[in-house]
Copies of this chain bind each other. A is one copy, B any other.
């Protein structure tokens, strides 16, 4: 049985990382897509685990070979989702989880319309603001700009396959697990499992 690709996207601060981590703690047969990047490894970062570290030349070569499902430049460094590892995991029968930004999700959707898109939403904008402020790492101005961007990005959510509202971690992870299982009950996967057809 081939795995499927699940795009998990949502605004900054919504808790995607926590939800995804908990999903992996509970469920087997999942592959977390590791990004490629041109930025230098930080102390403790392992090639192939935290990132696939590439030189700028290698990265450009991958782009030219259409080896990325999506890629972007951010503060002078390139980031991308390599097709190769995603496809290998699916061939092994693992479901692939892509934890990416809204723009990246758009790119993947164009290349792989069959990938299932899940939008992680905050219970309310007030709550998202509260969480962004709670991080304490950014100025109020930066928080407000992130919030404005989150509201803008939310307009894309209606086109997603699913919206998971991160109100409680328990409920959010249960919903993700339900979505994964339900998507494996689709006819394209199942119709050939019954023998003697035709």
The residues of A with any CB-CB pair to B shorter than 8 Å are 118-119, 121-126, 151, 154, 157-165, 174-175, 177-179, 181-183, 185-187, 190-191, 193-197
A121→B194 contact, CB < 8 A:
yes
Chain B residues in 8 Å Cβ range of A193: 121, 165
A185→B195 contact, CB < 8 A:
no
A165 to chain B, nearest CB (A): 6
B162→A194 contact, CB < 8 A:
no
Main secondary structure of the interface of A (DSSP, over half): mixed
B181→A162 contact, CB < 8 A:
no
Chain B residues in 8 Å Cβ range of A125: 194-196
Q: How far is the CA of A197 from the CA of B164 in the complex (A)?
A: 16
Given that A124-B196, A151-B196, A196-B125 are contacting pairs, would A190 and B163 also be in contact in the complex, using a CB cutoff of 8 Å? yes
A191→B178 contact, CB < 8 A:
no
A182→B162 contact, CB < 8 A:
yes
Most buried by B among A121, A177, A194, A197: A194
A157→B121 contact, CB < 8 A:
no
Q: How far is the CA of A193 from the CA of B175 in the complex (A)?
A: 16
